[in-house]
Amino acid sequence: MKKFPNGFMIGAATAAHQVEGNNVNSDFWAMEQVPNSTYKEPSLDAVDHYHRYKEDIQLLVDAGCDTYRFSIEWARIEPTKGHFNEAEIQHYREVLEFCHLKNVTPIVTLHHFSSPKWLISEGGWESETTIEYFGKYAHYVVSELGHLIPYICTINEANMGKQITKIMIKMSASNTKSSDGDVQVGLNMDTMKARMELYYRSLGETFGIDPRNVHTFLAPKTENGERIIMECHQKARSVIKALNPTIKVGITFSLYDHQALPGGEKFVEKEQHEDLLSYLPYLQEDDFLGVQNYSRKIHGPDGEVLKDENARLTKMGYEYYPEALGNVLRFVSKHWDKPIIVTENGISTDSDEDRVEFIERALTGVLQCLDEGIHIIGYTHWSLLDNFEWQLGYAQTFGLIAVDRSTQTRYPKESLSFLGNIKKSGLHSFREIM
């Protein structure tokens, strides 16, 4: 048996739009509702975490976990430009206070994909003005709640737009749909290409702008858009530190375990540079880095190698490969010497036995990295609850807790107590060498 160090955070993560429900002022709500939407279904009530957060956090605590990563929804806090909603900031104050009451460490994400609808009408994530808007939002949240927040992730998966851009280019070049598992977010590739023109016309009408100027966070990014995201991060970090220098500030990235067959090394180097290394100059004053990993990609002399037809896959189409996490942590540690938090790692599956095995193997990798001296301070599993997986709707099941959405009844899975037992007593199956 091997235990994690004292103070090592273990828990689970969610994102506001995916779990809260009725996020009516957000861009995602608008995108789900328009004619010709590429979303398989709308989020609607989601899993009603907005009203049931106490029950959900209590289930996390009862299992033995001590950390909850969640996001504050910008579209709730600032539903119209310049108008901050005191009732909504009070809601998140109560969520944070409940975490502290239950001795749960909150890790707060300020932006997890969804934005206020008005922001997109103002130019969205390709507009210089977004930097100032994000700074004002961060200032309001931290001035009201900062004393309750020990860790802030400014932006979730800052590199996701770049990863989506590569998928779109790949689809256009091949004139075929992308393979499942190409990107670590729920995109509906089946209908996206066919409906895109009609969909964007509808979005243009909804946001009141030229459809070509609809720049949501998950839209393909230009280099300018990439810069704006990172300057939003820097702006928020400076605002947070000016208000409360004790808050630890970081950002999270979607990172595959890129592996090279002979001749594939140059492709791995390119992917690693694009996924993380190109962003490092913006992160020099950060306190921690959030690592989000689900699987691996293998590269040969001609580029990415297709998954073996006999490969074990998750419901998302990723290769089932929990060892990817340890490999990514080793890669990151070669370029980052400050604390690392695993802010997401998990699996969509209908077999909770597969999830238990995934957690065991992934956390074995984390323990091995700790033994190697890598500075990892926490792990939050994705996700606490089965939830709304963006364009793919509710069919994906990443949660440690199942939800019957007809009644919103919670059904904790064995994997939740398994994760909590690791926090309490360690990994019984830990091996020094796999």
Cα 160-350-324 angle, rounded to 5 deg: 45
Phi, psi of 10 (to 5 degrees): -135, 125
Q: Rounded to an integer, what distance in angstroms lies between the CA atom of residue 9 and that of residue 378?
A: 4
- Do 287 and 338 contact (CB within 8 A), yes or no? yes
Candidates 20, 78, 157, 389; catalytic one:
157
Is 241:143 a contact under the CB 8 Å cutoff?
no
DSSP annotation of 210 reads: -
Helix H or strand E encompassing 171: helix 160-174
Q: If 0-12 CB within 10 Å is exposed, 13-18 middle and 19+ buried, where does residue 415 land?
A: buried
Distances 99 to 53, 66, 95, 139 between C-alpha atoms, Å: 10, 9, 6, 22
Task: Give which of 217, 221, 39, 237 is closest to 135, Cα–Cα.
Answer: 237
Matching residue, tokens 């992730």: 153
Helix axes 160-174, 223-243, angle to 10 degrees: 170
> d(Cα 111, Cα 155) in Å, to the nearest integer?
5
Residue 126: active-site member: no
Tell me the angle at which helices 129-145 and 86-101 cross, rounded to the nearest 10 degrees. 50
- 34: tokens are 């328009």
Number of Cβ atoms within 10 Å of the Cβ of 401: 22
Answer whether 150's CB lies under 8 Å from 254's CB.
Answer: no
Sheet with 296-300: strands ordered across? 257-260, 296-300, 303-304
Q: Which two tokens stand for residue 6?
A: 């004292």
Phi and psi at residue 159, to the nearest 5° = -95, 5
Task: Give helix 414-425 / helix 49-63 axis angle, nearest 10°.
Answer: 50
* Side chain identity, residue 425: S
Sequence letter at residue 431? R
Phi-psi region of 113 (alpha: psi -120 to 50; beta: other; left: phi over 0): left
Q: Which residues are identified as catalytic?
A: 157
